[in-house]
Structure 1
Amino acid sequence: MSDVIIVIGASGGIGQELVHQLSERYPDNIIYALSRKSQTASFSDNVRCMNIRTDDEKAIHEFCKSLDASDQKVRLAISTVGILHGEVDGLQIAPEKRLEDLSNGQLLRYFHVNSVVPALWLKHLVDRMSDQPSQIVCFSARVGSISDNRLGGWYGYRASKAALNMLLKTAAVEYGRRAKSTTLLSYHPGTVDTGLSEPFQRNVKPEKLFTPEFIVSQLLALLPELRADQSPYFLDWEHEVVTW
């Protein structure tokens, strides 16, 4: 039996950097780089790039069954899946500034990508986690903090990230019974210089606009500090607690 690492959403700026740093940090582990888009980046020999529908439960189930067939357990799974703006399946998404901007279609899309998809991975990974200290990380956002919301706006993004946080917090109770060595982490990376944040970087101070390299290194440095008996965590790139 061998332990593997999974990056869900590996084709984006953060996802690719995760794969690079993980493959260097864990050269003896297979890294599964999963994404909906074909990947053109060059990775180390221990990386297995797979083009799968990371948002489709049947595809998630089939991938996880393949782990069983290979007698593999998961040491670390990181989901970078998320949407803030752009075109998704023909629907143009943009953060709402006022109530009149709300729409059924956009809200459903926010929740599907930002909340439902990570929850499906939590569902299928619970019986496939390593008995050794292991982690599942979902990229969240400080704007998903209910207690920290003072500015309003961004209804769908905020609510879907808050839902993700609640799903993680609830799943942690069950993981505590079924996967006792696994820690769940909701991770706020700050504003990262990727396509996700590009339209909103204008008002960000230069010292608060982070590179994917920095954010990934901060996350990987954090993981050894986590304890399963204190799961779940909601932490930022400085390893500081974010209130739920």
Structure 2
Amino acid sequence: MSLISGLDDKACVLICGASRGIGLALCNALARREDVDQLIAVSRHATQNPALRALADANPNRILLVDCDAREEASLAAMAAQAGERCAHLHVVISTLGILHQENARAEKSLAQLDLASLHASFTTNAFAPILLLKHLLPLLRKQPATFAALSARVGSISDNRLGGWYSYRASKSALNQLLHTASIELKRLNPNATVLALHPGTTDTELSRPFQGNVPEGKLFETTFAAQCIVELIGRLGPSVTGSFWGWDGRNIPW
């Protein structure tokens, strides 16, 4: 399967949030593909990450490590300039940015647990950082087939919300979905061969989910390698005809 619809050549790929979890698994998976020419791995401390360093050393001249705090626009702008020096066009960009219960964010169970700091932290990382990533990489997505995918979450679906709780996380993922859908409309005008996707990777064994894994049904907690495989397969299958849509790891469309 081609990495994305309509791509006949080797791809330039950028992963933001590359240093751990699903992001690192995606880097490992994509580095093994012969149809990936260049892989740009972005995280706050990418150049100091042992796993990314080992991957770059094993793939000389194919992998670029870029330090970037996606919560800061100046850092995003500098990263985009570095990416542009390596690749004139990006065929695939995947954002794995997200927090639930760290860096001032909280998985609130009630209104009484809400506070401004938690709301701000959740929205900054879960919604604002991915869409600003797209903003700064837009010049590199305008000429050829391109897919921008960001990891969302099923709990961001308003119509699927039957349990309540997790106010900041749910709302920030809902905001991300709206931002991506809106951006897909603009990007389609600029590049009819572009696709923007919100993807739910399933509950994956990462730092984000570990405090809550006791409630996950048997067989529904995925390894990061499996989640990465599902994401790559979705990106390969979903093209411009469904841009601006929301999909689960199992290939099913998720209601807003």
Q: Do the aligned partners of 1:188 and 1:237 also contact (CA within 8 Å) in 2?
A: yes
Q: Does 1:52 align with 2:62?
A: no
Residue 134 of structure 1 deviates from its aligned partner by: 1.6
Q: Does 1:29 align with 2:47?
A: no
The equivalent of 1:7 in structure 2 is 15
The equivalent of 1:152 in structure 2 is 164
- CA shift digits 1:208-238 (9 cap, x unpaired): 0000111111111122211213211210110
Residue 27 of structure 1 deviates from its aligned partner by: 5.3
Residues 43-192 of structure 1: pairs in structure 2 closer than 5 A: 43=55, 44-45=58-59, 46-70=62-86, 72-86=88-102, 88=103, 91=104, 93-129=105-141, 131-192=143-204
Q: Do the aligned partners of 1:7 and 1:34 also contact (CA within 8 Å) in 2?
A: yes
> Which structure's residues are more often strand, by fraction?
1
Task: Give me the TM-score of the superposition, normalised by structure 2.
Answer: 0.89
Tell me the amino acid that sits aligned with residue 120 of structure 1. Answer: L
Q: CA–CA distance in 1 between the matches of 2:226 and 2:40?
A: 22
Q: CA–CA distance in 2 between the matches of 1:26 and 1:143?
A: 35
Identical aligned residues as a percent: 38
Tell me the amino acid that sits aligned with residue 152 of structure 1. Answer: G
Tell me the amino acid that sits aligned with residue 244 of structure 2. Answer: P
Residue 28 of structure 1 deviates from its aligned partner by: 4.5
Q: Do the aligned partners of 2:67 and 2:79 also contact (CA within 8 Å) in 1?
A: no
- Equivalent of 2:236 in 221, 224, 232: 224
Q: Which moved more, 1:193-202 or 1:46-55?
A: 46-55
Q: CA–CA distance in 2 between the matches of 1:172 and 1:22?
A: 24
Q: CA–CA distance in 2 between the matches of 1:197 and 1:67?
A: 31
Q: CA–CA distance in 2 between the matches of 1:143 and 1:188?
A: 9
- CA shift digits 1:114-173 (9 cap, x unpaired): 000011012112221163322111000000001111111100000000000000000011
Q: Which moved more, 1:100-109 or 1:175-184?
A: 175-184
Task: Give me the TM-score of the superposition, normalised by structure 1.
Answer: 0.93
- CA shift digits 1:25-76 (9 cap, x unpaired): 2454110111113311121412222222232111111221233444521110
The equivalent of 2:5 in structure 1 is none
- CA shift digits 1:1-36 (9 cap, x unpaired): x85210001011111110010111245411011111
The equivalent of 2:7 in structure 1 is none
SS at 2:14's partner residue? Answer: strand
Q: CA–CA distance in 1 between the matches of 2:11 and 2:220?
A: 35
List alignment gaps of at least 5 residues for structure 2: 1-9
Tell me the amino acid that sits aligned with residue 80 of structure 1. Answer: T
Q: Do the aligned partners of 2:30 and 2:36 also contact (CA within 8 Å) in 1?
A: no
Tell me the amino acid that sits aligned with residue 159 of structure 1. Answer: A
Count how many residue pairs are aligned between Structure 1 and Structure 2.
239
Q: CA–CA distance in 2 between the matches of 1:106 and 1:35?
A: 22
The equivalent of 1:17 in structure 2 is 25
Q: Does 1:240 align with 2:252?
A: yes
Q: Does 1:40 align with 2:50?
A: yes
Q: CA–CA distance in 2 between the matches of 1:26 and 1:135?
A: 18
Q: CA–CA distance in 2 between the matches of 1:143 and 1:21?
A: 27
The equivalent of 2:4 in structure 1 is none
List alignment gaps of at least 5 residues for structure 1: none
Q: CA–CA distance in 1 between the matches of 2:229 and 2:110?
A: 36
